[in-house]
Each structure stands twice: as structure tokens, then as C-alpha cells.
Amino acid sequence: MIKFPENLSGLHGEEEKLYRRSRDVIDADENLILHVCAVEATLDLLYAFRLLIVEDEDFKVIQVLGMRVFNTLSSSFKLMMSGYYQTSAMVMRDALETAFLVDFFSSDQASVSKWRMATEKERRKLFKPVKIREALDNRDGFTGQKRAKAYELLSELATHPSMWGFSMLRNKDGNIYLGPFFDPTALKASLEELGRLALQTGEIIGRFISTEKQSLIPSFPRFVQVKRSWLKEFYGSSVKEDSN
């Protein structure tokens, strides 16, 4: 009788050990805990957002995109905690790209219908990632291509095979690891990026939550509170600074 391979059980056991080590590091650092709270508060908001009952098909598209981001953020967090820092960053790029698209829809809600009804050829022509980033930069008056640079950084470090990307497979001693490994520096850097990305995503989704709908989402006030605490700690202000 064929049985489940013990090698995979052993790999899972090692991942769980690294998860516990990662949590010990986070529990000892209030700043890292705040990043984790940012991720959790955003996930909670996205979970409640998808429970809203609406008839508008375009709004349902935003809900499904929010569900996609929930899955990518939570997957990235699990991978990071388990010692897969490069793969965690690769998943973050998906969350970033989706956040950019939802951000675009927030200022041009008529485009949701176009995206929803478009053929694959039309979608690639009208809504490819570079066009979305350029449209957002034009909307906000950005000239430094910060969105493109953030996207390209995650692409080079994690998504596309590259010599630079090998750095995410090295520990502090310079050794390249096969499989999961523990590195507090990589954990801290990954969690800082994920916390920032989570709050950015939550804020974008929040634009689709009217004052009337806010009363239906008990997690919304907590998200706002966590966001303010995060901004105050890392930017010295509770005023939103555009990090797109």
C-alpha cells in the first residue's frame, strides 16, 4: 500500500519549527508585532468585505479581487514565517499588482465593467500592469516611477531567476540554502514590507466601503486604528503618506 512520503512530513515538521522560531523573534520586538497586527487587521477587513451582500456585479469584482489579496497576503506571511523568504516576496508581487489594479478601479469605477467584460486580448491591451502603474502615476502626479521600482524590485529579487535574487536564499553567513531556513534579518525585512503592503491594500479596499457600509464591517474601525498606530510609529504621524 502506498503511503504519504515521510520526507514531506519531515519537511513540514521543519517548517513548523521555523514558524515557532520566527514567532519568538517577533514576540520580543514591538515593532515587528505592529507589522503583524497590520497584516492581521487587513486580513480581517478583507474577510468582512467579502461578506457584504450586494447586487452590483462590478462591486462583486472588487470583492473577489479582495479575496485574491487575502489569499496572497496570508500565503506570503505563512511562507515568510516558515523560512521561505524569497517565495514570500514572490507572492507579495502578486498582491502588489492586484492592489495597483484595485487602486486604478477606485478612481475610475467605470473601468471595472470594461475589465470584467473584456476579452483576454482587450484586457492585456487596456489593463496590463505597466499601463495601470502609469495611469496611477499620472493620476497622482508622480514622476519618480516608485510603483514601477517597487514592482521591479520584487520581480528581480523573487519572481525572475537572477544572480541578485540568490541573496534571498542566503543566511547571514553567506550560505545558500535549499528549502526553508531561519534568518532574523530576512524575517524582519520581509515582515516590514508585508506590513506596509497590507495597509496599502486595506486602505485601497476601504475606498469602496461607503460610510453606510462601514457600519456593517466591525473590523473597519480597528483597521483604521492599527493603520494610525503604524503610521505614527514608522512615519511619525497619523496622516497618510502615499506609499504607492
Provide the pLDDT for residue 163. 54
Question: Residue with C-alpha cell 507589522?
Answer: 35
pTM listed for this prediction = 0.87
Listed by start position, the domains of the chain span 13-190+220-235
Q: Kindly give, in sequence order, each residue whose CB lies less than 8 Å from that of residue 205, ignoring residues fewer than 6 positions away.
A: 45, 46, 49, 62, 66, 69, 102
Which pLDDT tens digits describe the chain residue by residue (244 residues)? 899 999 999 999 999 999 999 999 999 999 999 999 999 999 999 999 999 988 999 999 999 999 999 999 999 999 999 999 989 988 998 899 999 999 999 998 889 999 999 999 998 888 998 999 999 989 988 877 777 777 676 666 656 556 555 566 666 677 777 789 899 999 999 999 999 999 999 999 999 998 888 888 989 999 999 999 999 999 886 444 444 4
- CA dist list (Å): 175 to 181, 183, 226: 10, 11, 37
Read off φ and ψ for residue 176, nearest 5 degrees. -90, 130
Give the helix ranges, DSSP H, for 83-235.
85-107, 110-117, 120-127, 129-140, 146-154, 184-206, 211-214, 219-235
Q: How far apart are CA 136 and CA 154, in angstroms?
A: 19
